Amino acid sequence: MRLHINIDHVATLRNARGTPYPDPVDAARVCLDAGAHGITAHLREDRRHIVDQDVARLRATLRSTFNLEMAATDEMIALAIETRPDVVTLVPERREERTTEGGLEVVGNAESLGKHVAALQAADIKVSLFIAPDVKQVEASQALGVEQIELHTGEYAHAFGYGRPSSIDLLKPIPEVARVEHARLAAAAKHGRALGLEIAAGHGLTTRNVGALVSIEEIVELNIGHAVIADAVFMSLTGAVKAMLAAIAKGRPV
């Protein structure tokens, strides 16, 4: 199980005061030193947190996997080809949203998405699509020839509930609504793996809900940001990464 830490909200904090700190590149180093396997950053069209200079510096600095999330637009694809991250994850994006809402609509958009996927792959960049755990979206993604899909776990996380886990929580069964979402994720992951896709997952994951999710054996990578940065307020960034790794280890099948 690979854990990639999304460092967007380190940049959010920096930008709130217009200071050069905290530096998301420094945060990336801390996360990797704490045991994370890679770094994720979302370069939004409005540059609300990560900015172009951050992307360039991350690419120049990181010697581990660098996953760049972006909208499927000509501008973003050109920037990715120039920067050459290890992975580009194409995500839906609306300027008025607080965070990414829902998965990419792959069904019915093969032509527009296909040209972007082809351009990235021609530049030797691995392509992942952030999609809902829906079999039709999985099949449409595989038809585009991408290497990976990232399943949107937001509905599962919301149904599971938030807050810090306790020893009692770990003994409780998954809430029934979350169980339904867990089953959807498991079915999509299994189907995608059968089609030859690598399966990642992310959105809304916390130390409270990640253990149950990683019981899905087909999922081999997680992208987690907000919860880790939030936990870092109380336990340091190093401590937050290690706590997430420990929660994953508890839930992962042996």
Residues recognised as catalytic: 42, 69, 203
Give the burial string for 201-240 (b: 16+ CB within 10 Å, else e).
bbbbbbbbbbbbbbebebbbbbbbbbbbbebbeeeebeeb
21's torsion region: left (phi>0), alpha (psi -120 to 50) or beta?
A: beta
Where would I find the H helices in 100-222? Answer: 110-122, 135-143, 154-160, 167-171, 176-194, 210-213
Find, among 189, 201, 205, the residue nearest to 157 by Cα: 205
Find, among 79, 71, 118, the residue nearest to 97 by Cα: 71
Q: Coil, strand, or helix at residue 40?
A: strand
Beta-bridge partners for 199: 149, 219
Q: How far apart are CA 125 and CA 86, in angstroms?
A: 6
Asked whether the beta carbons of 8 and 68 are under 8 A apart, the reply is: no
Q: How far apart are the first and last CA of the chain?
A: 11
User: Beta strand 87-90 with 219-224: parallel, antiparallel or unpaired?
Assistant: unpaired
